[in-house]
Chain A
């Protein structure tokens, strides 16, 4: 179980690193939010699953599972609200003709 936990935590950190790399390299706010969605859902879920595998089935691991559920609800809500505000503030999506900023 310890090996599984270490593997899941390492996988989560790796996914977060990929996501942050995308957030630093992508050209506009919509693609950056797309890249950060990996860390907000899959990376956090992998690390929390690693904690659950570390502890086994206890009350604490139930709390980790509930925190994963909470993160899966609030992060898409926040990103949706921010990007809707960006669309209403006339931030234009990147197209191939424009230069990356």
Chain B
């Protein structure tokens, strides 16, 4: 039954590639930041899917917690920085 995790993981990686297209194309910096936050969420889910495929999810859930905390700090810092400066574009 591990095929389910492989299929869902490949689909999630494809969705991350689609969001990367939005990061490359997005007209303002805020488009890029919103898409980056979407990539972070998909990366957490992809970590858990890889962990189930490797049959060691109890290790990967802790990595996912750490990734979630770091993505929160990074996105909020970038948003606060872009609010202060006029570096939009």
Contacts and interface: CB of A to CB of B under 8 A. Distances in A.
Interface of A: 2, 6, 9-10, 12-13, 16-17, 19-21, 23-24, 29, 32-33, 36, 39-40, 43-44, 47-48, 51, 54-55, 60, 63-64, 67, 70-71, 74-75, 77-79, 81-86, 88-89, 91, 101
Contacts of B1: 2, 6
Given A32-B34, A63-B61, A71-B41, 5 more contacts: A23-B22, A23-B34, A29-B26, A67-B64, A82-B34
Contacts of A79: 34, 37
Contact of A9 (B8, B71, B82): B8
A64 B75 CA distance: 23
Nearest to A66: B65
A63 B8 CA distance: 21
Contact of B12 (A13, A82, A85): A13
Contacts, number: 135
A71 B86 contact: no
B53 to A, nearest CB: 12
Interface string B1-40: 1001100100110010011011000111011011101100
B58 A60 contact: yes
